[in-house]
A and B are shown apart, each in its own frame.
Chain A
Amino acid sequence: MSYQPSPLRLQREAARRRASRRSTLIAILSTVVIATVLTIAVTGAPGFKAVKESFFNWHYAKSAFPHVLSGLWLNLKVMLIASFFSFILGLLIALARTSHSPLLYPVRILATVFTDIFRGLPLLLVLFLVGFGIPGLQFTWLTNSVVVLGTVSLILTYSAYMGEVIRAGIEAVNPAQRMAGRALGLSPTQTQRYVVLPQALRKVTPALLNDLISLQKDSGLISTLGAIDAIRAAQIDASLSFNFTPYVVAGALFVSLTIPLTRFTDWLTFRQDRSRVQQGQW
Chain B
Amino acid sequence: MVTMAESMLDIINVRKSYGDELVLHDISVSLAEHEVKVLIGASGSGKSTLLRTLNLLEAIDDGQILLAGTDITAVGVNPDKVRAQIGSVFQSFNLFPHLNVLQNITLAPRKVHGVSKEAAEANAMELLQRFGLADKAKQYPDLLSGGQQQRVAILRALITKPKVLLLDEVTSALDPILIAEVLSLIAELKAEGMTIMIATHEMGFAKRVADHVLFLHHGKILEAGTPADILENPRTTELSDFLGALRDAGRL
Residues of A within 8 A of B (CB): 176-177, 179-187, 190, 194-195, 198-199, 202, 275, 278-279
Contacts and interface: CB of A to CB of B under 8 A. Distances in A.
B208 interface: no
A199 B98 contact: yes
Interface in B90-111: 90, 92, 94-98, 107-108, 111
Given A186-B80, A187-B80, A279-B142, A180 B112 contact: no
A278 B143 CA distance: 10
B142 A180 contact: no
Contacts of B142: 275, 278-279
A180 B80 contact: no
Contacts of A278: 142
Given A176-B92, A179-B57, A194-B111, A184 B97 contact: no
Nearest to B162: A185
Nearest to A185: B84
A199 B108 contact: no
Contacts of B96: 177, 180-181, 195, 199
A202 B79 CA distance: 29
Contacts of B98: 198-199, 202
B15 interface: no
Given A180-B96, A184-B84, A184-B160, 11 more contacts: A176-B94, A179-B57, A179-B90, A180-B90, A180-B94, A182-B79, A182-B83, A184-B107, A185-B81, A186-B107, A194-B111
Contacts of A177: 94, 96
Q: Which 4 A-B pairs have the closest CB atoms?
A: A185-B84, A180-B94, A184-B108, A183-B88
Contacts of A180: 88, 90, 94-96
Nearest to B94: A180
A184 B90 contact: no
A271 to B, nearest CB: 13
Contact of A186 (B90, B92, B112): B112
A186 B108 contact: yes
A177 B165 CA distance: 19
A185 B80 contact: yes
A187 to B, nearest CB: 5
22 contacts: A176-B94, A179-B57, A180-B90, A180-B94, A180-B95, A183-B90, A184-B84, A184-B107, A184-B112, A184-B157, A185-B80, A185-B81, A185-B84, A185-B85, A185-B108, A185-B112, A186-B80, A186-B108, A186-B112, A194-B107, A195-B96, A199-B97
Q: Is the interface of B mostly helix, strand, loop or mixed?
A: loop
Contact of A183 (B55, B92, B97, B111): B55
A187 B80 CA distance: 6
A183 B84 CA distance: 8
A202 B98 CA distance: 9
Nearest to B85: A185
Nearest to A198: B98
B156 interface: yes
Interface in B51-83: 55, 57, 79-81, 83
A181 B107 CA distance: 9
Contacts of B108: 184-186
Interface string B110-132: 01110000000000000000000
A157 B87 CA distance: 45
Contacts of A182: 57, 79-80, 83
Contact of A185 (B83, B90, B94, B97): B83
